[in-house]
Structure 1
Amino acid sequence: MDIQTIIAQVSAALADAPEKLQELISDPKGTIEELTGLEIGEADLSQIVDGVKNGIADGSLDLGGIDLGSIAGNLGGMLENGPLGGIADSLGGLFGKK
């Protein structure tokens, strides 16, 4: 399966079950593997995470069923060195925070 297809599958799963975003933040590899049924390598993981982050940042991923402000506010330093490092900024940007 190509990366764009995986990104679309993960994005669709997050749109259907927005609470999975919290799982994606805490365990990106495990959550993506759970959602897709595929084993994901580190290089692929980075590309998939970037694709999902871009979907969140540009608003194409509808997460209307979840309080993104709460998630962004509770992330703290947890993500600074992880593959989802920029997601807190993306989420905060949706709500006018910097």
Structure 2
Amino acid sequence: MDVQAIIAQVSAALADAPEKLRELISDPKGTIEGITGLELGEGDLSQIIDGVKNGIADGSLDLGGLDLGGIAGNLGGLLENSPLGGIADSLGGLFGKK
């Protein structure tokens, strides 16, 4: 399984339908498996989530008109113990929120 190819596929799906970010936040494994059609192990899932988070954090993942600042503000502690825990900080940092 080529993790980089999966990251690219998930990133492309998010760029095409930014609202899928909410699905990714609520059910990362199910959303990624739905996008790719693959069954993922925990190690693969972690690498893919990290790759997607990095794409959001560095701005290489264009999510169009999605209000990332609003999402970051609303996430608060919700993601604290989830695999996407750092995504709120990444989103907030992109929009000047810490």
Give the TM interval when normalised to the shorter protein: over 0.9
Which string of whole-angstrom CA distances, capped at 9 and with x for unpartnered residues, describes residues 37-80 of structure 1?
A: 10011110000000000000000000122111111111121110
Residue 81 of structure 1 is matched in structure 2 by 81
Identity across the alignment (%): 88
User: What aligned pairs does 1:1-98 form with structure 2 within 5 A after superposition?
Assistant: 1-98=1-98
The number of aligned residues is 98
Structure 2 residue ranges without an equivalent (≥5)? none
* TM-score normalised per structure 2: 0.97
Q: For 2:45 and 2:65, how far apart are their aligned partners in 1?
A: 25
* TM-score normalised per structure 1: 0.97
Q: For 1:25 and 1:95, how far apart are their aligned partners in 2?
A: 19
Report the residue type matching 1:21 in the other structure: L
4+ residue segments displaced more than 3 Å: none
CA RMSD of aligned residues (A): 0.7
Report the residue type matching 1:73 in the other structure: G
